[in-house]
Structure 1
Amino acid sequence: MDDYPELHPSIRENPEPRMSAVSLAEFLILKADPQADVLHNSRYSQTNIRAAYASARHGLRLYNLDPRRPIGPLNKVKDTLLRKAENPDLKKRARTSYLRSAELIDLFLLRENALGLRALPLAKAPRFEPLDVAGLELSIQPDFMVEPPNGRIGAAILRVTKAPDPDDCRRQSTKDERGEHRREMARYLVAMLEMLLNSQPAFRGRVDRSLIFVSDVRLGEKIGAGPGHDGLLRDIEAGCRQVVSLWSDVKPRPSILKKDD
């Protein structure tokens, strides 16, 4: 249509319903107004954003894939991040990003034993095609495959995102609330990982729910399937149907439109 608003060049519209696993987990646990934000940002996504903590995540993946868990290369990643942060020409946002990535590595090492990764036979996860769940293209990308020699298979996500950060608050009640928010998201991610593995050819191995988990660095916890796991699977399918039904009504907000010259 000629009168359809023109988006800013940094914004890409996804005309068909598509979400990441993290976005869907957020959508499922949030109330109406934040849900609208998730929907909007999934339909109209920015094209020039580098994934948060990308350098630190890459170093942590390599560290965990090596059975020897050599600390030297991980320290080199941290030292490189700190050197980059010292550049006086950096903008504040970039400097903060480098410093937070370095802090993330320290936090991981401090909490490593509680994250449940060290004792497991981890393999590099391939890039998986999106799943079609009730008409929604759902992108589920584990950080690791768990492949013991007995023919079973699992998968793990290393969750490093800062928000909501339980440590960045004074009141215990707020800390508890943020922690439970992260745990609930993790439980949905575990359910989506199981859906992903069950959709794969049988030659990959027999899916073992006990080998599917999220290691949350901010919480210092390994979170697996809980008592209500089967109900979460049903919730995910219902949530996907809801997203599909709402998708065409999501309009671009003024903040992402192309500005007049």
Structure 2
Amino acid sequence: MAYLRSGLFHIAFYTSFIVQMLVFTPIYFFLPRKTAYFVPKNWARSNLWIAKTFLGLTFEIEGLEKLPKSGFILSPKHQSFWDTFALIPSLDDPVYILKRELLWIPLFGWYAAKQRMIPINRAAKSRAIPEMLARAREEMDAGRQLIIYPEGTRKAPGAPPDYKIGIARLYSDLKVPVVPVVMHPGLFWPRHGFLRFGGHFKVRFLDPIEPGLSTDAFFRQLVETTERESDRLLLETVRANPHVPLSRVTAQKVAELELAERHAQSAA
């Protein structure tokens, strides 16, 4: 059944993508940039509906009220293709920092360039940061919400963290709040493989880290807070969805968290 549902999902997902490209591309590039954002937002909502209809995959967002009214940086955990689009409808005018190679993809790259997404050459490492900072400041000055995945690439739920220093440079340079986001769509929509799974999970916006900390203090707080809350939500999500198979990395992490939980309860 999982293969059938996943197969139907993939057919619907890619059919929707192709149809929307054919319908909207002729007008997308002639509209003002922000007006044209309705096209990616509509595509994102369609994807969420397809996942709900064919997989039974649903989610809820907690903490939207914590988002600052002025400019801010959103710092989500990155596990799946799901989290590259699913937050777009909840934000006014988001701009992503993404790897440069994505802009080379026909159509997708053109759509991203239209929305002035910020490419970064990860091979250049620290040499790429000044250009990224300049572009980020330009977009933030225009009132947009900046999204950066602090680990840079998709990781399996519970995988060891690998945060990059770029987000700390953005925090220090832009002087705006950073809002960590934890979620585990990778349990249901893995980064590799054909199968997709139904279930219900939460996207949790955490308290903003206000500007004013030193670079080191901010980075330490971001990593500690995000990982602590991500671990808590991982246990919560796995227990609410016992039917979802776990990868080796995820199963090992869940076992460690459950052991730590039992030790804490015994000590209490």
| Length-normalised TM-score, structure 1 | 0.31
Instruction: Provide the TM-score with structure 2 as the length reference.
Output: 0.30
Question: Which of the two has greater helix per residue?
Answer: 2
